[in-house]
Amino acid sequence: MVFTRKNIIILSTFGIIVGLFTRHIVRILPSVSLIVFLCLALSRKDFLTQLKAFFSFKNIHLWIAMFFVLHLPYFFTTDAINMKHYLKVLQLRTPLVGLGLSFFFAPTFSRKHYHYLIYTFFICSFVTAFGSLSNYVINFDEVSTLLNQGKPLPVVVNHVRYSLMLCFAIFCGIFLYYHKISFSGKKWENYLQLGAVLFLILFIHISGVRSGLLSFYSTVGLGTIYFMIRQKKYILGIGIIATLLFTPLIAYKTLPSVQQKVETTLVDLNSLENEYNANFQSLHNRIVSYKVGWRVFKENPILGTGVGNFKRACLTVYARQFSFIHLNKRLHPHNQFLYVAGSMGIVGLLLFCILFYAPLWKFKLYKHSLILIFYFIMTISFLSEATLSTQLGTTFCMVFVSMFSEMSRKEEE
């Protein structure tokens, strides 16, 4: 392969996708890939002409980048003691701008290239899940002990973000199978894709991560209802819904990890009356984090504390009203909307929702089923996690928002 500018850009896009799964092995891969992608994408001869086009409300990437811009004025309101945290937040949010700029200024990719990026994500999901399951089988006693202690199944990256990635990978596999997308062009490869999809469905049940399971069942359930009404295939739809209802029961009866997660959740729910139990129960601890975030928001409802001051504001509420929570258990609010509301106020929350969701309608992204599924999964994750508070979550979110947006934009041209 000749290392032309376009070919290096193509390699960097694959590096970003692979880097989502290799952060603990080659931590710099996604960052280096993004930097290479951005620098080469911007080094085009008609840069100034295209720059004018970027700063247009007809460009979806600008909408997402504007959420990053909203962070900048808070530089002037951030306390000196919190400045380091403010700069860290800006660093975590750089994919909001970097990926949008990169995809916008990059040479025109073929539809096949975007499909291969989705395929790469799907393959990485399968390979890493297979590796995690193999580790579980090989070290069954040790891993089972961890699960019995309420700890997650060891996986390649943060287990919550990973479960969301696997959930989306399942629908990517269905997309590839339905559209008969493959490297070989042979039917057997599509059957392998279907087998990999079934394996990933099994794995997210074995891993037992609540966020991933909630996203999966919510997406399949809502999609089934939509399909049943639109296609008027009520018997098939009822059959799928019945399967959805029985699958968790079967998983509970057959998978120890699922049994452990259900029992842990029930213990969490039964201990809600005693807030001190939040030190020992993860679900209860999350609920306390919601209360903390809500109280921070009520004290700063219009413009928030500022993204740099938010962490310390949460710790102040913990010290004042939840001092019984151990220091290492004091979480930031595990809800993206509450996180934005507390740090940027109701103004920032409204702007965030407009900038993130309005493109679905303004640019008619809702017509693309995979894009719609991705947005739905991200929304479910926003309810139980501050997904964009980590670089992995932000990169995962933005690489697909930017990629799907560019796919849609070039289809319209």
Q: How far apart are CA 402 and CA 103, in angstroms?
A: 7
What is the pLDDT, as a whole number, of residue 58?
76
Q: What percent of the chain has pLDDT over 90?
A: 45
Q: What percent of the chain has pLDDT over 70?
A: 96
Say if residue 238's pLDDT is above 90: no
Q: How far apart are CA 349 and CA 368, in angstroms?
A: 26
Say if residue 167's pLDDT is above 90: yes
Note whether 166 and 212 are within 8 A (CB). Answer: yes
What is the residue whose two structure tokens read 């213990």?
Answer: 267
Say if residue 108's pLDDT is above 90: no
Burial class of residue 329, CB neighbours in 10 A (0-12, 13-18, 19+): middle
Say if residue 336's pLDDT is above 60: yes
Note whether 368 and 412 are within 8 A (CB). Answer: no
Average pLDDT, the chain: 87
Q: How far apart are CA 179 and CA 198, in angstroms?
A: 17
Note whether 363 and 64 are within 8 A (CB). Answer: no
Say if residue 230's pLDDT is above 60: yes
Q: What are phi and psi of 22, to 5 degrees?
A: -120, 20
What is the pLDDT, as a whole number, of residue 413?
56
Question: In 15-35, which positions are buried (b, 16+ CB within 10 angstroms) versus exposed (e)?
Answer: bbbbbbbbbeeeeebbbebbe
Note whether 332 and 287 are within 8 A (CB). Answer: no
Say if residue 131's pLDDT is above 80: yes
What is the pLDDT, as a whole number, of residue 285?
84
Q: Between these two residues, 197 and 235, which has the higher pLDDT value?
A: 197
**Across residues 97-123, what is the average pLDDT?**
89
Axis-axis angle for helices 256-270, 282-299 (nearest 10): 50
Say if residue 142's pLDDT is above 80: yes
Q: What tokens appear for 386 in the block?
A: 């501050």
pLDDT-wise least confident of 75-79, 83-87, 224-228: 224-228
What is the pLDDT, as a whole number, of residue 94?
87
Q: How far apart are CA 70 and CA 25, in angstroms?
A: 33
Note whether 219 and 167 are within 8 A (CB). Answer: yes
Say if residue 121's pLDDT is above 90: yes
What is the residue whose two structure tokens read 């309101």?
Answer: 77
What is the pLDDT, as a whole number, of residue 31?
85
Q: How far apart are CA 373 and CA 389, in angstroms?
A: 22
Say if residue 277's pLDDT is above 80: no
Say if residue 43's pLDDT is above 80: yes
What is the pLDDT, as a whole number, of residue 400?
92
What is the residue whose two structure tokens read 């599924």?
Answer: 373
**Across residues 237-254, what is the average pLDDT?**
81
User: Other CB atoms closer than 10 Å to residue 72's CB: what's the count?
Assistant: 10
Q: Which of 393, 308, 407, 412 is nearest to 23 (CA)?
A: 393
Q: Which of 410, 340, 395, 406 is nearest to 371 (CA)?
A: 406
Q: What are phi and psi of 270, to 5 degrees?
A: -75, -15
Q: How far apart are CA 72 and CA 355, in angstroms?
A: 16
What is the pLDDT, as a whole number, of residue 272?
67
What is the pLDDT, as a whole number, of residue 1?
53
Q: What tokens appear for 197 in the block?
A: 């999809």
Burial class of residue 261, CB neighbours in 10 A (0-12, 13-18, 19+): buried
Say if residue 2's pLDDT is above 70: no
Angle (nearest 5°) at CA 204 between 31 and 391: 20
**Across residues 217-244, what is the average pLDDT?**
82
Q: Between these two residues, 231 and 15, which has the higher pLDDT value?
A: 15
State the DSSP string of 309-368: THHHHHHHHHHHH-TTS-GGG-PPPS-HHHHHHHHHHHHHHHHHHHHHHHHHHHTTGGGS
DSSP state of 182: -
pLDDT tens for residues 22-36? 987 777 888 899 899
What is the pLDDT, as a whole number, of residue 412?
59
| Amino acid identity at 285 | N
**Across residues 86-98, what is the average pLDDT?**
89
Q: How far apart are CA 400 and CA 118, in angstroms?
A: 9
pTM, rounded to two decimals: 0.92
Q: How far apart are CA 274 and CA 112, in angstroms?
A: 55
